[in-house]
Amino acid sequence: MSAVAKDLTHSREAVELRPNLYWIGAMDPHLRSFDIILKTANGTTYNSYLVRGSEGVAVIDTVKESFQQEFFSRLEGVADYAEIRYIVLNHLEPDHSGALPELMRRAPQAQLYISVRATSMLKALLKPKQGAFDYTPVRDGDQLSLGDRTLRFLHTPFLHWPDTQCTYLVEEKALFSGDVFGCHYCDNRLFNDKVGDFRFSFDYYYAHIMRPFKKYVLAALKQIEPLPLTLVAPAHGPILRDRPRRYVARYRELSSPGFMAEMTEQERSLIIFYMSAYGSTARMAQAIYGGADEVDGVRVSLYDLEGGEVGPFVDLIEQADAIAFGSPTINGDAVKPIWDLLSSLAVINLSDKVGAAFGSYGWSGEAIRMIEDRLRGLKMRVPEGGMRVKLIPTEEELAECREFGRRIAGALVGEGESKGKVIEFEDL
Ligand code: FEO
């Protein structure tokens, strides 16, 4: 074992974090995309930890199956399989549970500890390989004594799967946080005060993995922030031993509502995005904007997608209460900038936001229904049937657009019943 790892990609030594506390994970420097959706410019690590107590050894998380030989080599350097009494999985995704079947085979006496929510996943995930795994489901606050050391479990679900939990080593003030506070950043130097600049990776990982679950992040932070912390040991990326609380604070910052144009808590926000080929959808957008703006208590914003970028718009949408999307129908479809924006919204939680669609069309007008379908797929409410206008809107049709905007805005402040046709899921 070594206190400072020199080349963990090639060595198979465990790394001592504290006396009788080791990193026994694996390095995956050549990975370039993770779970398809995440870019990994310099790979990732699968972090696993071994804690030795006076009455037994615990292994916390394993590694991806294809890296298990590396994991077992490190483990064998610091413990015998017969000493392992406890295996804790903070999260059952295969990048952390991949080596579990083989570990259980080598250490059959060990008891597996997982969160209550993980129990239904265990068999589904490991069915091709498992024998009859015995396991103990644990709840928030449950403790596991290793003799002179204690593991305490924190219930932190949906970060980013339902099963996720964190494990706190009380005597060392060390938090094994699973994917939380992790990132895909592979660096032999392993510790946050030694590795290269990984700030981008930390924020990028948060944005793609944790951001849709902000309310659960905030709930977890309520549990984590009061803990004395000298070490945060995530399941991916650098081990946070230098001022670990900075990373907890960064999660707080990233999960808190941002600055919102001086809006009050009582105000509601409607954002209208549009693209227009010949100006007709733009005129509809202006009319919807005008109608919505008549409603007190609703702040309305209007954006032409032609002049914007997806990233900042996703930020705006995350904080809005209602979003309307306007597109002409061209070749039976909505236009590409609309789809670019709509396909980028999976990283935020849209449930219960109000969505609406509108646009002008030449002869069929499919774009409106297609946008509405996507909004429902994103779990948004679509209380108003989409507003469609054939070719150039008349004054009467623009008046309808104003009323359409007024109704959407009115719904945000509890004004009356919607007068438009309500499209329900079953109608599709
Ligand atoms: Fe790193 Fe969600 O697994």
- Inside any domain, residue 1: no
**Residue 182 CA: which ligand 1 atom is closest?**
1
Q: Could you tell me which residue, 133 or 149, shows the higher pLDDT?
A: 149
pLDDT of residue 265: 80
Tell how far the Cα of 65 is from the centroid of ligand 1, in angstroms.
13
Looking at per-residue pLDDT, the higher value among 176 and 36 belongs to: 176
Give the pLDDT mean for 278-289. 97
**Ligand 1 atom nearest 179 alpha carbon:** 1
Is the pLDDT at 259 greater than 50, yes or no?
Answer: yes
Q: For residue 415, what pLDDT is reported?
A: 82
Q: What is the position in ligand 1's atom list of the atom closest to the CA of 164?
A: 2
Same structural domain for residues 212 and 292? no
C-alpha span between 223 and 197 (Å, rounded): 28
At 28 the pLDDT is: 96
What CATH number does residue 282 fall under? Answer: 3.40.50.360
Banded pLDDT at 329 (limits 50, 70, 90): very high
Local confidence band at 73 (pLDDT 50, 70, 90 cut-offs)? very high
Looking at ligand 1, which atom is closest to the CA of residue 94? Answer: 3
Query: Above pLDDT 70, what percent of the chain?
Result: 93
- pLDDT confidence of residue 420: 40
The predicted model gives 258-273 an average pLDDT of: 81
Kindly give the distance from the C-alpha atom of residue 180 to the centroid of ligand 1, in angstroms, as a whole number: 9
Residue 155 has pLDDT above 60, yes or no: yes
Query: Is there a single domain that holds both residue 183 and residue 329?
Result: no
301: DSSP letter = E
Least confident range of 121-125, 222-226, 346-350, 418-422: 418-422
Q: What is the DSSP letter of 190?
A: -
Cα(252) to centroid(ligand 1), Å: 20
What 3-state class would DSSP assign to 385? coil
Contact 146, 53 (CB under 8 A): yes
Mean pLDDT of the 199-213 span: 95
Residue pLDDT, tens place only, 338-360: 999 999 998 999 998 999 999 99
Closest CA to 233 of 3, 28, 1, 51: 51
Ligand 1 site residues (CB inside 6 A) read 91, 93, 95-96, 160, 179, 235-236
In the predicted model, what is the mean pLDDT of residues 10-39?
Answer: 93
Q: Which residues contact 255 (CB under 8 A, 6 or more apart)?
A: 210, 214, 217, 218, 221
Please give the model's pTM, rounded to 2 decimal places: 0.84
DSSP state of 238: -
Q: What confidence category does residue 370 fall into, taking pLDDT thresholds of 50, 70 and 90?
A: very high
Q: Is the peptide bond before 160 cis (omega within 30 degrees of 0)?
A: yes
Q: Is the pLDDT of residue 275 over 80?
A: yes
Residues 108 and 53 in one domain: yes
Read off the pLDDT of residues 394-410 as tens digits, 9 standing for 90 and up.
999 999 999 999 999 99
> Based on the structure, what is the number of domains in the chain?
2
pLDDT at site 134: 80
Q: Tell me how far apart the alpha carbons of residues 57 and 341 are, in angstroms, rounded to a whole number.
A: 50
Q: Which amino acid is at 416?
A: G
Mean pLDDT on 139-154: 98
Q: Tell me, what's the pLDDT at 364?
A: 87
What is the distance in A from the centroid of ligand 1 to the CA of 236? 8
Q: How is 70-135 classified by DSSP, letter by letter? A: HHHHHHHHH--GGGEEEEE-S--SHHHHTTHHHHHHH-TTPEEEEEGGGHHHHHHHHTTT-----E
Put residue 244 in one of left, alpha, beta given phi > 0 → left and psi -120 to 50 → alpha: alpha
Q: For ligand 1, atom 3, name the residue with the nearest CA.
A: 93
Q: Using the predicted structure, report yes or no on whether residue 424 has a pLDDT greater than 70.
A: no
393 in the same domain as 297: yes
Which whole number is the average pLDDT over 152-179?
97
| Residue 199 belongs to domain with CATH number | 3.60.15.10
For ligand 1, the distance from its centroid to the CA atom of residue 259, given in whole angstroms, is: 31
Closest CA relative to residue 47, chosen from 243, 335, 240, 224: 240
Regarding whether 186 and 233 lie in a shared domain, the answer is yes
Report the C-alpha dihedral over residues 186, 223, 59, 4, rounded to 10 degrees. 40
What's the rounded mean pLDDT across residues 202-226? 96
User: In this predicted structure, what is the pLDDT of residue 7?
Assistant: 75
- 250 and 312 part of one domain: no
User: What DSSP string runs through 344-379?
Assistant: TGGGS--TT-EEEEEEEESS--HHHHHHHHHHHHTT
Alpha helices in 161-244 (DSSP H): 199-205, 214-224
Domain termination site, one of 255, 270, 286: 255
Residues 138 and 176 reside in one and the same domain: yes
CA of 97 from ligand 1 middle (Å) equals 9
Question: What domain range is 140 assigned to?
Answer: 15-255
Q: Are 404 and 358 in contact (CB under 8 A)?
A: yes
Half-sphere exposure of 259 (CA within 13 A, CB side): 2
- Closest protein CA for atom 2 of ligand 1: 93
Residue 320 tokens read as: 């809005």
The predicted pLDDT at position 261 comes to 53
Residues 228 and 297 in one domain: no
**Same structural domain for residues 45 and 97?**
yes
Atom of ligand 1 nearest to the CA of 236: 1
Q: Residue 428 domain-assigned?
A: no
Give which of 301, 289, 327, 317 is closest to 404, Cα–Cα.
289
Q: How far apart are CA 350 and CA 147, in angstroms?
A: 46
- The alpha carbon of 294 and the centre of ligand 1 are apart by a number of angstroms equal to 47
pLDDT at 425: 37
Average pLDDT value for residue range 60-82: 98
pLDDT band at 376 (very low <50, low <70, confident <90, very high): very high
Nearest atom in ligand 1 to 160's CA: 2
How many A from CA of 35 to the centre of ligand 1?
Answer: 9
Q: Is residue 2 pLDDT above 60, yes or no?
A: no
Provide the mean pLDDT of the chain: 92
How far is C-alpha 69 from the chain's CA centre?
A: 30
